[in-house]
């Protein structure tokens, strides 16, 4: 057996969101989702067996609470047979728990690394099923460019696959409003959102939007992609505001960026937003517009940090 295995996976941003579970132990979602993997943000994770009395997580050079990763490893032990405790050494090249999908890149990287350490067959569907158990969005982060997580109805049928493995010229400008750890995890947030009276309607619309999104990607129609993704994301945040214990990931700054993006679109620029479980905004545009748009945003929001991301690749061993 190899002593240490290192894998890297990129984050992904959903254009059609996963926001709710039909089964919270297995992470079976209420909707299928579709994402683009990003080149700029990723996690690198090394795994090795250890004689320590428990699984360990060293995240960004600090000993970190290993509860969530240890639960994940316990699930792998139940599935593939017992193995010793594991020392995980991980670097996030993305802010942790800030709504920039660190759980997606980190559980995809951890899954790939563990498949290497345990010398399991690297079947994409199986990697995706296992990554899904760590964090739903991680099921999509193993693939480059565009991936679809078909919701399925049980452990076997719920996994992601590559949808279109080409760069279609879509750009995401990430407006970093805060890189602080969020108060409401994605797991908890979506559980609450599902109590909104309008949640069923959002789920129904999502199925229709997924089909529209697929055809827009195949046609490389960035305007259509942006319009659908924006409606789907804003709808997701509406559920948070309408659920039994209402909450909001938006800050004042989030709303200002959303409003300014709409203003840019009205002025004739390709500009749409998508927002995940955190205050940061991803502005959807194309390669041809990104520089002009970036200059406008930098002038309007000098206090914010902006990064430009394009489509990223599949997981890799280092
Ligand atoms: P995000 O928006 O960043 O995906 P989540 O609430 O979905 O936020 O998940 C954040 C959680 O993911 C962290 O609190 C931690 O438990 C886990 N996580 C993030 N990065 C890593 C990593 N590199 N290794 C292990 N677990 C990680
Ligand atoms: C808003 O995958 O982080 O980013 O499965 O509970 O770990 P858990 O949740 P997570 O949720 C991601 C939610 C989202 C939308 C998306 O990525 O599809
Ligand atoms: Co997450």
Q: What is the 3-state secondary structure (H, E, C) of 252-280?
A: HHHHHHHHHHHHHHHCCCCCEEEECCCCC
Does 213 share its domain with 241?
Answer: yes
Whether 18 lines ligand 2, by a CB cut-off of 6 Å, is yes
Q: Is residue 314 part of a domain?
A: no
Last residue of a domain, which of 166, 186, 209?
A: 166
Last residue of a domain, which of 166, 184, 204?
A: 166
Question: What is the CATH classification number for the domain harbouring 135?
Answer: 3.30.230.10
Residues of the domain holding 280:
170-309
Task: Please give the tally of structural domains in the chain.
Answer: 2
The answer to whether residues 13 and 172 touch, using CB atoms and an 8 Å cutoff, is: yes
Mean pLDDT (10-residue bins), the chain, 318 residues: 90 98 98 98 98 98 98 98 98 95 98 98 98 98 98 98 98 96 96 98 98 98 98 98 98 98 98 98 98 98 97 98
Q: How far is the CA of 47 from the centre of ligand 3 (A)?
A: 21
Q: Determine the Cα–Cα distance for residues 236 and 216; give it in Å rounded to an integer.
A: 21
Does 233 share its domain with 131?
Answer: no
Does 153 share its domain with 18?
Answer: yes
Predicted pLDDT at 142 = 98
Does 14 share its domain with 156?
Answer: yes
Nearest listed ligand to the Cα of residue 43: 1
Q: How far is the CA of 82 from the centre of ligand 3 (A)?
A: 28
Predicted pLDDT at 2 = 67
Whether 190 lines ligand 1, by a CB cut-off of 6 Å, is no
Predicted pLDDT at 13 = 98
Predicted pLDDT at 150 = 98
The model carries a pTM of 0.98
């Amino acid at each position: 057996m190899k002593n240490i295995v290192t894998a890297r996976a990129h984050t992904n941003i959903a254009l059609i969101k996963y926001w709710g579970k039909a089964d919270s132990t297995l992470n079976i979602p209420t909707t299928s989702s579709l994402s683009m993997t990003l080149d700029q943000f990723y996690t690198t994770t090394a795994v090795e067996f250890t004689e320590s009395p428990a699984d360990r997580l060293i995240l960004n050079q600090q000993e970190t609470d290993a509860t969530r990763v240890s639960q994940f490893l316990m699930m792998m032990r139940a599935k593939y047979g017992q193995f010793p405790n594991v020392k995980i050494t991980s670097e996030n090249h993305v802010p942790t728990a800030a709504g920039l999908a660190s759980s997606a890149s980190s559980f995809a990287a951890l899954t790939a690394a563990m498949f290497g350490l345990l010398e399991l067959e690297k079947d994409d569907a199986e990697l995706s099923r296992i990554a899904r158990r760590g964090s739903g969005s991680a099921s999509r982060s193993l693939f480059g460019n565009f991936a679809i997580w078909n919701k399925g109805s049980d452990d076997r049928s719920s996994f992601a696959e590559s949808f279109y493995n080409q760069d279609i010229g879509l750009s995401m400008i990430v407006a970093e409003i805060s890189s602080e750890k969020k108060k409401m995890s994605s797991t908890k947030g979506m559980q609450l959102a599902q109590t909104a009276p309008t949640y069923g309607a959002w789920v129904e619309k999502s199925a229709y939007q997924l089909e529209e999104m697929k055809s827009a990607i195949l046609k490389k129609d960035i305007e259509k992609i942006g319009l659908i993704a924006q409606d789907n994301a804003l709808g997701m945040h509406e559920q948070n505001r309408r659920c039994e214990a209402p909450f909001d990931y938006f800050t004042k700054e989030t709303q200002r960026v959303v409003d300014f993006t709409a203003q840019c679109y009205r002025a004739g620029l390709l500009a749409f937003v998508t927002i995940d479980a955190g205050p940061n905004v991803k502005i959807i545009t194309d390669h041809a517009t990104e520089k002009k748009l970036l200059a406008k945003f930098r002038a309007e929001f000098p206090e914010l940090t902006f990064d430009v991301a394009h489509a990223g690749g599949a997981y890799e061993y280092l």
